[in-house]
């Protein structure tokens, strides 16, 4: 009886196919961090000015909220 689920090794990728991927991914994460930080700073300034400082109560959780929607869109 043949085993339909026999363990077969995965196809090996060429080493040059993944060259530089890790560096580009880390750089992309750093760029995303900077962009989200700029968005949060802009939202902080606008909300502080528009609410005359009362927005300082909800500003601490603003960074994770903006990061969530930035990555979700």
In a domain, 49, yes or no: yes
Number of domains in the chain: 1
Helix axes 21-50, 62-72, angle to 10 degrees: 130
0.75 exceeded by pTM: no
**How high is the pLDDT of residue 8?**
63
pLDDT in tens, the chain (73 residues): 566 666 666 677 777 878 888 999 999 989 988 998 898 889 889 988 998 888 887 778 877 888 888 777 6
In a domain, 15, yes or no: no
In a domain, 5, yes or no: no
In a domain, 40, yes or no: yes
In a domain, 1, yes or no: no
In a domain, 29, yes or no: no
In a domain, 60, yes or no: yes
Residue span of the structural domain in which 69 resides: 36-73
């Amino acid at each position: 009886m043949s085993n339909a689920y026999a363990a077969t090794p995965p196809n090996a990728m060429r080493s040059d196919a993944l060259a530089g991927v890790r560096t580009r991914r880390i750089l992309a994460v750093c760029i995303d961090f900077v962009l989200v930080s700029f968005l949060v700073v802009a939202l902080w300034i606008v909300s502080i000015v528009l609410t005359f400082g009362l927005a300082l109560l909800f500003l601490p959780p603003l960074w994770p909220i903006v990061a969530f929607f930035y990555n979700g869109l």
